[in-house]
Amino acid sequence: MTRPVGRGFQISIELQLPRDRMSVPLARHLLRAAMGELGVMSDDSEAVQLALSEACTNVIAHAGPGDAYEVRITVTPRACELRVFDEGRGFEQSADPTMPQRGAVRGRGLALMQAIVDQVSFTSRPEVGTVVSLVKELRFDESAPGRRLSLASEAGERSG
């Protein structure tokens, strides 16, 4: 289990979503808006959004009988942590994380997530569910108002 990266100022979003493919763009849009307000560089923002999309899509495709899943997003002055929870049947954690052959329609999610974020971990228990944790260190536009606010908060923590 990973812990949120960083201290002090952070944006936290918790979503309870239906296991429906239309929930993926909603989660992605909310994440994009939060990172945009904080001045996260577009390459990092796009990578995190893609990783979230893959994790959510995997829940929808593989989680089993549950009708909802949960997404927790935490953006700190240094990183973004995503946690996606489902109540499905769990999965075999020995899955091969290598990218499948060109032209394959399925099987890219795990390898893609591992390629674009800094940390990927899974906790899966049969008949309990799975937690996918993703962490990406972020680069920021230092002039963005949200970034200045987060840095001021961090500086106040150090001096207080």
Indicate the pTM of the whole model: 0.80
Q: Which residue has the tokens 């929870």?
A: 85
Predicted pLDDT at 4? 44
* Spatial distance between the Cα atoms of 91 and 85, rounded to a whole number of angstroms: 13
Predicted pLDDT at 2? 42
* Spatial distance between the Cα atoms of 130 and 69, rounded to a whole number of angstroms: 10
Residue scoring higher pLDDT (8 or 96): 8
Measure Cα distances from 159 to 8, 33, 139, 152 in Å: 13, 30, 24, 11
Whether the predicted pLDDT of 97 surpasses 80 = no
Residue 71 confidence class, pLDDT cut points 50, 70, 90? very high
CA atoms within 13 A on the CB side of 65: 4
* Spatial distance between the Cα atoms of 48 and 117, rounded to a whole number of angstroms: 7
* Spatial distance between the Cα atoms of 81 and 97, rounded to a whole number of angstroms: 20
The verdict on domain 11-91+109-155 having CATH code 3.20.20.80 is: no
Percent of the chain with pLDDT over 70: 79
Whether the predicted pLDDT of 136 surpasses 90 = yes
Q: 157 near 7, Cβ under 8 Å? A: yes
In the structure encoding, which two tokens stand for residue 91, read together?
């999965």
Residue scoring higher pLDDT (130 or 45): 45
Q: 135 near 119, Cβ under 8 Å? A: yes
